């Protein structure tokens, strides 16, 4: 069985500090924090790759990896939660930064094929 996961990607005017800041934000989200504590989920930064898994130069993604059944949490439900968390992070970003926040994409991925 392939490992399932969620890839979070920031584009546009993203700075080097945005990825670690978003990762920290996600790690404090209640559901994600609970799943990490149970060992059912990992959040890590990975070099950006294309669909074939080849490196795409500079850039980093956040990869949320689910362990097996991840305590009964469906990937689709988790994607919705992660999208809400990223939207909340962007709203917070607007209060502390000037300009437009980075654009984002949140999508399920097969971690083995990433």
* pLDDT tens profile 84-97: 999 999 999 999 99
100 pLDDT higher than 80: yes
Alpha-carbon gap, residue 111 to 106, rounded angstroms: 14
Alpha-carbon gap, residue 82 to 54, rounded angstroms: 25
1 CB contacts (<8 Å, ≥6 apart)? Answer: 68
Q: Which of 70, 67, 87, 75 is nearest to 26 (CA)?
A: 87
- The helix (H) or strand (E) run that includes residue 79 is helix 75-96
pTM of the model: 0.84
Share of the chain above pLDDT 70, in %: 81
């Amino acid at each position: 069985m392939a490992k399932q996961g969620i890839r979070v990607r920031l584009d546009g005017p993203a700075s080097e500090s945005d990825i670690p800041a978003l990762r920290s934000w996600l790690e404090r989200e209640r559901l994600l924090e609970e799943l990490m504590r149970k060992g059912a989920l990992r959040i890590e930064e990975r070099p950006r790759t294309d669909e074939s898994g080849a490196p795409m130069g500079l850039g980093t993604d956040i990869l949320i990896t689910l362990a097996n059944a991840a305590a009964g949490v469906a990937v689709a439900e988790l994607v919705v939660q992660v999208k809400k968390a990223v939207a909340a992070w962007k709203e917070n970003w607007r209060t502390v930064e000037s300009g437009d926040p980075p654009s984002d994409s949140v999508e399920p991925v097969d971690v083995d094929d990433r």
